[in-house]
């Protein structure tokens, strides 16, 4: 008997590993754009989930940004139904009026819709088709933007967002492998024209910067960048635990002890201040490196005068040796 092509088998193994331990009665949703990565992922899930006693459905988002995007989304959902991914849902999103560039706005609208839909249909996990190549591109972009170790830690293979687990089983596979898996299954992926549009930074990284690095340094660059993300994620996790302990120690009734913060190593101080700002209600998306640097300056400057404006209308100031929220 001839088994599946190696790339098809690899996607199935990756999905099986990720789904291992998920509650049997739970619904798993695959987020599928119709592109090669998420199509290979959806096909693998359709194969693996019933054999593991799990129910799996599909969600495809119509961003409404291209002519015919509604027809394409409907075709992806119809394919999902045909392979027993049920429910197979099309969700249309409005990307206008969101902060950031068009790419960021579409991503934010997509994640909001995916999480909302998952909760509405009581799916506690969503599978996403990011590959090693996506991970390498994210690391390069974060490096070039000075996003620091947190940004370069890129995408975790698992992240829990208020009761929904976002799972990325294909992070160890290459885009080339997902293309080959689709071809081996006779599936025709959709090519997103945005992926080639040089007005998007990620497209330029995908189309020129990363291939140039591979040319200069060899094909191992992609997996090395992905490995960098994993190593930084481990470091970030350890530092976050330490910073949380220091933050607790620095807490006073009316704010944070400046003396305690000053005594911390810079990496721990920045993390503690970041967590503190989040605990005050700043949104993670809006809280930038710039805000944290300004908070640090407030702590470590000789006079510690002035106030830092944080997202969400929050103002922090140093008042008599205490970093506190000020309302005046």
Ligand X SMILES: Nc1ncnc2c1ncn2[C@@H]1O[C@H](COP(=O)(O)OP(=O)(O)OP(=O)(O)O)[C@@H](O)[C@H]1O
Could you list the residues known to form a binding site for ATP, using ranges: 33-38
> Which residues does the annotation place in the binding site?
33-38
Quote the tokens at residue 288.
């930038």
When asked if residue 130 is in the footprint of ligand X (CB under 6 A), the reply is yes
Residue 60 or 125 with smaller CB distance to ligand X: 60
Could you tell me if 235 and 154 are in contact, meaning their C-beta atoms sit under 8 angstroms apart?
Answer: no
What's the order of all strands across the beta sheet hosting 322-325? 251-252, 255-257, 322-325, 314-319, 307-310
- Smallest distance from the beta carbon of 296 to ligand X, in angstroms? 32
Residue 110 or 269 with smaller CB distance to ligand X: 110
- Smallest distance from the beta carbon of 230 to ligand X, in angstroms? 18
When asked if residue 36 is in the footprint of ligand X (CB under 6 A), the reply is yes
Cα 200 from chain centroid (whole Å)? 18
When asked if residue 199 is in the footprint of ligand X (CB under 6 A), the reply is no
- Smallest distance from the beta carbon of 118 to ligand X, in angstroms? 12
Q: Which residue is nearest to ligand X (CB)?
A: 35
When asked if residue 11 is in the footprint of ligand X (CB under 6 A), the reply is no
Decide: helix, strand or coil at residue 213: helix
Residue 8 or 36 with smaller CB distance to ligand X: 36
Q: For ligand X, which stretch binds (CB under 6 A), given 128-136, 219-227, 236-244, 308-316?
A: 128-136
When asked if residue 137 is in the footprint of ligand X (CB under 6 A), the reply is no
CA dihedral in degrees (207, 5, 130, 165; nearest 10)?
Answer: 180
Question: What single string gives the DSSP state of each residue in 227-256?
Answer: HHHHHHHHHHHHHHHHHHHHHHHHEETTEE
Q: Contacting ligand X (CB under 6 A), which of 22, 27, 61, 299?
A: 61
Q: Contacting ligand X (CB under 6 A), which of 22, 37, 89, 323?
A: 37
Q: For ligand X, which stretch binds (CB under 6 A), given 6-14, 31-39, 223-231, 264-272?
A: 31-39
When asked if residue 195 is in the footprint of ligand X (CB under 6 A), the reply is yes
Q: Contacting ligand X (CB under 6 A), which of 38, 117, 203, 250?
A: 38
When asked if residue 164 is in the footprint of ligand X (CB under 6 A), the reply is no
- Smallest distance from the beta carbon of 72 to ligand X, in angstroms? 9
When asked if residue 255 is in the footprint of ligand X (CB under 6 A), the reply is no
Residue 65 or 307 with smaller CB distance to ligand X: 65
Which residue reads 């702590």 in tokens? 299
What count of other Cβ atoms lies within 10 Å of the Cβ of residue 249?
Answer: 13
Distance, first Cα to last Cα, the chain: 77
CA dihedral in degrees (40, 108, 275, 239; nearest 10)?
Answer: 30
168: alpha, beta or left? (left if phi > 0; alpha if psi -120 to 50): beta
Backbone angles phi, psi at 171, to 5 degrees: -65, -20
Interface with ligand X by CB under 6 A: which residues? Answer: 31-33, 35-38, 59-61, 110, 128-130, 134, 192, 195
């Amino acid at each position: 008997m001839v088994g599946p092509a190696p790339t098809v088998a690899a996607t199935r193994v990756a999905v099986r590993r990720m789904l291992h331990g998920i509650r049997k009665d739970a619904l798993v949703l695959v987020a599928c754009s119709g592109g090669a990565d998420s199509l290979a992922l959806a096909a693998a899930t359709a194969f693996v989930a019933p054999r593991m006693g799990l129910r799996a459905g599909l969600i495809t988002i119509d961003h409404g940004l291209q002519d015919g995007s509604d027809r394409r989304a409907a075709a992806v959902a119809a394919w999902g139904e045909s392979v027993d991914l049920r429910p197979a849902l099309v969700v249309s999103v409005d990307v206008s009026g969101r902060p950031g560039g068009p790419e960021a706005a579409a991503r934010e609208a997509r994640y909001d819709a995916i999480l909302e839909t998952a909760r509405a249909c009581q799916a506690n996990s969503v599978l996403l088709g990011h590959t090693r190549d996506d991970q390498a591109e994210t690391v390069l972009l974060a490096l070039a933007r000075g996003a620091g170790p947190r940004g370069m830690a890129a995408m975790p293979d698992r992240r829990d967002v208020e009761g929904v687990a976002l799972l990325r089983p294909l992070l160890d596979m290459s885009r080339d492998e997902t293309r080959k898996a689709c071809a081996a299954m006779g599936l025709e992926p959709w090519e997103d024209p945005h992926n080639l549009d040089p007005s998007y930074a990620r497209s330029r990284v995908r189309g020129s910067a990363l291939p140039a690095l591979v040319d200069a340094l060899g094909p191992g660059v992609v997996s090395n960048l992905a490995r960098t993300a994993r190593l930084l994620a481990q470091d970030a996790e350890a530092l976050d635990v330490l910073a949380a302990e220091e933050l607790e120690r620095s807490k006073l009734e009316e704010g944070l002890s400046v003396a305690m913060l000053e005594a911390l190593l810079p990496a721990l101080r920045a993390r503690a201040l970041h967590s503190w700002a989040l605990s005050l209600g700043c949104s993670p998306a809006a809280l930038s490196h710039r805000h944290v640097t300004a908070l640090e300056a407030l702590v470590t400057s000789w006079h510690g005068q002035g106030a830092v404006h944080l997202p969400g209308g929050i103002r922090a100031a140093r008042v008599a040796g205490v970093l506190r929220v000020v309302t005046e």
